[in-house]
Amino acid sequence: MGRHAVAPAEPRLLIVGVGLIGGSLAAALRAAGFAGEILACDPDAEEITRGVEMGLIERGGTRLSPLLEGVSLVVLAVPVLAMRQVMEEVAAGRERAADDLVITDVGSTKGTIREAAAGVFGRMPANLVLGHPIAGSEKSGVAAADSKLYARHKVILTPEPDTDPEALARVRRLWEATGAEVLEMAVDRHDQVLARTSHLPHLLAFSLVDTLARQDERLEIFRYAAGGFRDFTRIAGSDPVMWRDIFVANRDAVLAALDDFEAGVARLRRAVERGDTDAMLATFDRASHARHYFDSLLNQTSYQAEYQMQAQDRLRYRVRPGGGVTGRIRVPGDKSISHRSIMLGALADGVTEVTGFLEGEDSLATLQAFREMGVAIEGPHQGRVTVHGVGLHGLKAPAGPLYVGNAGTAMRLFAGLLAGQAFDTELTGDASLTKRPMGRVADPLREMGAVIETAEGGRPPLKIRGGQRLRGITYDMPMASAQVKSCLLLAGLYAEGETRVREPAPTRDHTERMLNGFGYEVSREGDTCWLQGGGRLAAAPIDVPSDISSATFFLVAAAITPGADLVLEHVGINPTRIGVINILKAMGADLRLENEREVGGEPVADLHIRYAPLKGIDIPVDQVPLAIDEFPALFVAAANAEGTTRLREAAELRVKESDRLKAMADGLAVLGVENRLYDDGIDIVGHGGEGPSYGGGRIDSLGDHRIAMAFTVAALRASDEIVIDDCANVATSFPGFVALARRVGLSLEEEREAS
């Protein structure tokens, strides 16, 4: 990242245009320890004088050609429409400059500048690297120069295929020295994106302020304007000449953005005229939550497909050894049920009220995706969500790719649901998700008539063509997977005839239960379930139980900690999810189910666990699919059990957010726990007793939330502290984990680690 970069090694730098942008670049380079000479050219001699007095530049002048002597890098920081003239002057004085001269710019539009360069030089020079810092202020002039203007801001470079790699590297170093994050983008894509994110908002701000300023009551309007009005219209104080040039230079992209905006305003106007409260709510809620969701997303995770941003910091856990585990807690709602509650609620007729919704990034990604497909959704507010269903055929085409973050469940279920829509869609996710196999859903969906494109190796993004005629199939799953089963059942809602799925081992049945709860009949006999296409869903309330996968970390914490006595309230105990309970009991855990009941078709109970010595076991093969997400935590239990715990037929763990078999084996080895890894399982040699079972050490979680939480719990029986890197994704499945861990007795600290 830029804040770790050293100053570029350019002997002489020339900034053409020493206003806010050029002056701030000089100030940032000075602050970074730039040792070369900085010159400036500007038509205003007073700006040059002021720049020298401020210590930003050594010297300068109003004529460009004399200043090119020995210059190795030229930065063109002039208005867009002045670029051609300045380039002509550079071309005329090129022989004065250094042999390895590199030229770059800071213009807000790139297409027009590329055309100007081709006109001046005969073609786009290999030593010209077009760039655009996404930073600025309504202030202008070198007096407003700010050495921190670019820190933690984006700079977009738009190199051509034949751009000199060394020239590109030198311009990258220039901007990284200012603390900026440097990205690359095609010229046309840059101009389209900036037209929407920068140029259109400025156009609207200028127009709004001008409209109000010409009204008779303008003084009263501005006197009583609230903070929101001032925040939005602040950018109307920007340089009018500069923005006139930008709108002229990027006319086509700005007009396209304005067309989209005018269409959106027209839709909203019609909703207000008709008193269409659902349409208004859909627009406002979608906008409100998109603003918060994407802001949070871009600050925490990677959004490669659309935004091409990267996380600035990595989160590290530092866990001191020992601690107690006592009390009563309720962990967040079940992620699998939270996903499905939004999906089926959106496809139902009527309004679905959801309580206990998991407000983690994965579930929020599903919620946001349906907002983008036109579904009005209120919340979440303290776990409450209201979904205004649009019916099976009421979804609308999203404006762009649907981003599901790190949620493999969402992507696979969405694939089935979207295969039956009338419109094309693209599903994408974060860097971790784009490595996970999707052929297991794409292949059977293709058998049903879906048209789906995947990236190499059957991986995301998934491009799904709409308007296909789906037909029901009978599918024997080669590997037990609730996600594949659910995907095909959701596609079956849109298929002609019967969709029948046979599973080689029992998997979670939340989809079948919830479909039945919404009045859509799903039948089951033995290992096979089926449904008929063409029905409808009727809205129904959903109370999401606490997630047994999240509860597992605390079950294991209590199971391995002498003196522990813990109650986990309102936990889902769906028969297809209780492998962890069965396995812990088989290992000797003192675990009881209390207050058993059924809520919305899902069985729940309070789980009461006390410490008892554990013993190693051969994990029954029939329990593996019932505990597939819980094994990272169960491996920690095995490390504290007397004897060897053996797991087989769990190859599914190799293709989760990480290769969980290898990640856990490597981490356990760091702690000194003897283990042996197999293609489909692992042997773990545990050490019973009540003292420390292993040492401490530093663990790489590989960005996998379950690996991070498992080794956090492991510290309870360590002899030294455990430091776990790359823990930001814990929020994807378990918001509030750190607070709950501290509440029951773990000594856990969070640290920000610069990446």
Q: Which positions make up the binding site for phosphoenolpyruvate?
A: 335, 408, 436, 483, 660, 706
Residue 457 burial (CB < 10 Å; 0-12/13-18/19+)?
exposed
Separation CA 25–CA 485 (nearest Å): 56
β-sheet bridge partners, residue 41: 16, 61
Q: Are 645 and 588 in contact (CB under 8 A)?
A: no
CB 537 within 8 A of CB 392: yes
Cα(296)–Cα(311) distance, rounded to whole angstroms? 11
From start to end of 585-725, where are the E strands? 590-599, 602-610, 643-647, 675-678, 681-686, 697-700, 722-725
Provide the token pair at 397.
């085409």
Which residues does 574 contact at the CB level (< 8 Å), separation at least 6? Answer: 508, 509, 510, 513, 548, 602, 603
Helix (H) or strand (E) holding 188: helix 187-194
Gyration radius from the chain CA atoms: 30
Task: Please tell me the distance from the alpha carbon of residue 104 to that of residue 574, in angstroms, as a whole number.
Answer: 61
| Contact (Cβ atoms closer than 8 angstroms) between residue 435 and residue 458 | no
The identity of residue 26, as a single letter, is A
Rounded CA separation 579/506 (Å)? 11
Strand 37-41 and strand 59-61: the pairing is parallel
Q: What is the dihedral of CA 213, 217, 222, 227, to 10 degrees?
A: -110
Please compute, for residue 35, the number of CA atoms within 13 A of its CA located in the half-sphere on the CB side. 4
The residue among 352, 379, 378 whose CA lies nearest residue 281 is 378
**What DSSP element (H or E) covers 351?**
strand 351-355
| Beta carbons of 571 and 604 less than 8 angstroms apart | yes
Which of 98, 176, 85 is closest to 131 using CA atoms? 176
162 annotated active-site: no
Would you give the DSSP letter of residue 722?
E
Annotated binding site for 3-phosphoshikimate: 335-336, 340, 481, 483, 629, 656
Q: Over 29-95, what HEC string results?
A: HHHCCCCCEEEEECCCHHHHHHHHHCCCCCEEECCCHHHHCCCCEEEECCCHHHHHHHHHHHHHCHH
Active-site option among 245, 362, 547, 629: 629
Q: What is the DSSP string of 408-450?
A: HHHHHHHHHHHHTSSS-EEEE--TTGGGS--HHHHHHHHHTT-
Binding residues: 335-336, 340, 408, 436, 481, 483, 629, 656, 660, 706
Neighbours of 705 (CB within 10 A): 27
Is residue 44 a contact partner of residue 103, using CB atoms and an 8 Å limit?
no
Residues recognised as catalytic:
629
